[in-house]
Each structure stands twice: as structure tokens, then as C-alpha cells.
Amino acid sequence: MKLIRHGASGAERAGLVDATGTLRDVSMLVPDIGPAQLAPAVLAALAAIDAARLPALPEGTRLGCPVGGVGKIVCVGLNYADHAREAGMALPSEPVLFMKAATSLCGPHDAVRVPPGARKLDWEVELGVVIGTAMRGVAEADALAHVAGYVLANDVSERAWQTERGGQWDKGKSGDTFAPVGPWLVTPDELPDPHALQLWLEVNGQRMQHGHTRDFIFRLPQVLAYISQFMTLAPGDLVLTGTPAGVGLGQKPEPRFLQVGDEMRLGATGLGEQRLVCVAG
């Protein structure tokens, strides 16, 4: 099942994608796709709906982040060996964690703002994991049972703010529109193996990233169980699982960073595509 949220920013409503790829409105049955709707019983009820009977959305309807009410975004850094090498950093012995502000979330085709003073804006295509039931001190063998679904994400990063402004990655990760997510949330029944996904990203039509989730250093059960040792992962929380090589910072002979007017396109197996234009912000 593919779930969406549609409508104006801040006023999104629940929807889904039917078997033909048509976007449908389901807001007459559930008000939103948020923590309460990610419970297994609610997801099962949504999956049982005859989607063909739901109203189709008009062409051009805006899609928002497919999960509302996200409490926190927990990110895994350096989870691909090739990305660690291009960053000039040693392979981690355990997952590297940092946070993005929930206010950085935006839709899959929204404009990405280049904030005043930003000079090293970068891209990172990632697999995102949406938590469906609370996790605290969970064993690896049980971790994936707590997942409501998977999303395509772009961990937009201002590298100067990330590494040159006092050592806190969060500063360069949390700007408004720095977390485009979507277009849809795919439930595990439709995407049974999250370690079998290709990911890619282009800037102005040039392929910059091409990776595969089989190349994770730390696979998802380990990552989720590890995070749950240090904090509770609540329904609706989002975990970003790392990016493969090809980010702007790692380009040779010189780094390449995003400018106003640049367009990013990115996608992943079964998770759809994003198109994002950079604007002055």
C-alpha cells in the first residue's frame, strides 16, 4: 500500500495510490496520515478499502511529506563505506547518529530554500524508515516489526554550517525544506526487503549518486535496535539511514554545491521520485 498526504502546506489530508497509480482522497475516512494512523490495525483497515471507489485527486495536486506529526528525525551518518571514504573519514565501529529538526520537512516537489549565507548546500538521497509502534530497548530480531513503512528522502545539508560552525552537525541539517520526503509511504507488505533498493540522484540532469541499500554498513534491524537503546522511537518518527557516495562535498577535483536555480531529481526502487528546484530563501 502507498499512502500520501495532499493539499496545501500545513493543511494536508490523507490519501493513497491505487493499483493503477491514481492518487485518491481518503480523508473522509481518516483525517491524516500521522502517528495514530500508523498503528497496525489502522493500516490493515486502510489496505482493505476498495480504492477504486475513492475520489481521484485533480492533476497537479500538491503532495506533502507522506507522514504528518513527525516528532523527530533521527539520522545515521556514514552508513555506506564509499561515502565515508569520499568524506575522508574512517568507517564507523557503531552507527553515527545525529538529528534533523522536524521543521525541515517538506514535500517531494516543494522548492528547496537556499538560506541567506549558505554557501555549501549539498544533497543526499536516502531511504527513510517510518516508525509505526513505539520502540525502546528493542532486540534486532524484533526491530522491523515496528516499522510502518518506507519513504524516499533527501538529507539536504549545508556543509559549512555542519562542520565549520562549532562541531554540531545539526546546524547544517535542519534548515527549512532541508528534508524533502515522499512522494509516498510504502508499507512493508509492498516492499518486503529494504536491503534490495537502488537509489539515485541527479543535479541538472547529471547523475551524481547511484547506490544500493545492500551496501549498508549497518543494516536496518541493527540501526533501529541501536537507536532504541538511547531514545524511544515513537509512532511517526522518521529514521534516515545514510547516503551512498556522490554528494557534492565529495566531487573531484573540486566540491560542487547547489545554487539557486539548480534542480535535483532523485528516486529509489518502489519509493517514487522527487523533483526539487533550489530557490533563494
Write the pLDDT tens digit of every residue in 41-52.
999 999 999 999
CATH of 67-280, one of 3.40.50.300, 3.90.850.10, 1.10.8.50, 3.30.470.10: 3.90.850.10
Cβ–Cβ under 8 Å, residues 209 and 265: no
Predicted local distance difference test score (pLDDT) of residue 165: 87
Please give the grid coordinates belonging to residue 29. 475516512
Percent of the chain with pLDDT over 90: 93
Decide: helix, strand or coil at residue 179.
Answer: strand
What confidence tens digit (pLDDT) does each residue in 53-100 have?
Answer: 999 999 999 999 999 999 999 999 999 988 888 888 788 999 999 999
Closest listed residue to residue 168, CA positions, set 157, 179, 178: 157
Q: How confident is the model at residue 114 (pLDDT cuts 50, 70, 90)?
A: very high
**Confidence bin at 7 (pLDDT 50/70/90):** very high
Q: What's the CA gap between 271 and 265, in Å, rounded?
A: 13
**Residue 169: what pLDDT?**
85
User: Is 80 exceeded by the pLDDT of residue 156?
Assistant: yes
How does DSSP assign 121-135, residue by residue? Answer: EE--EEEEEEE-S-B
Return the C-alpha torsion angle 152, 218, 122, 264, nearest 10: -30
272-280, strands of its sheet edge to edge: 112-114, 272-280, 263-268, 198-203, 206-212
Cα 206 to Cα 58, 201, 266, 274: the distances in Å are 31, 8, 11, 15
Question: How confident is the model over 237-259, as a mean pLDDT?
Answer: 96
Q: With a cut of 80, say whether residue 168 has pLDDT above it.
A: no
**Strand pairing of 179-180 and 105-106?**
parallel
Asked if residue 151 has pLDDT above 90, the reply is yes
Q: Given this model, what pLDDT does residue 110 score?
A: 98
User: Among 12-16, 28-32, 88-92, 178-182, which is the least confidently predicted range?
Assistant: 88-92
pLDDT at 81 (0 to 100): 87
**What confidence tier does 272 reach under pLDDT thresholds 50, 70, 90?**
very high
Across residues 118-135, what is the average pLDDT? Answer: 98
Flag the least confident range among 86-95, 205-214, 239-248: 86-95
Distance of CA 115 to the CA centre of its chain: 21
Average pLDDT, the chain: 96
With 80 as the cut, is the pLDDT of residue 133 above it?
Answer: yes
> Given a cut of 90, is residue 123 above it in pLDDT?
yes
Q: What is the predicted pLDDT for the residue at 148?
A: 98
pLDDT of amino acid 164: 87
pTM score of the predicted model = 0.97
Contact 59, 67 (CB under 8 A): no
Residue reference for cell 494536508 = 12
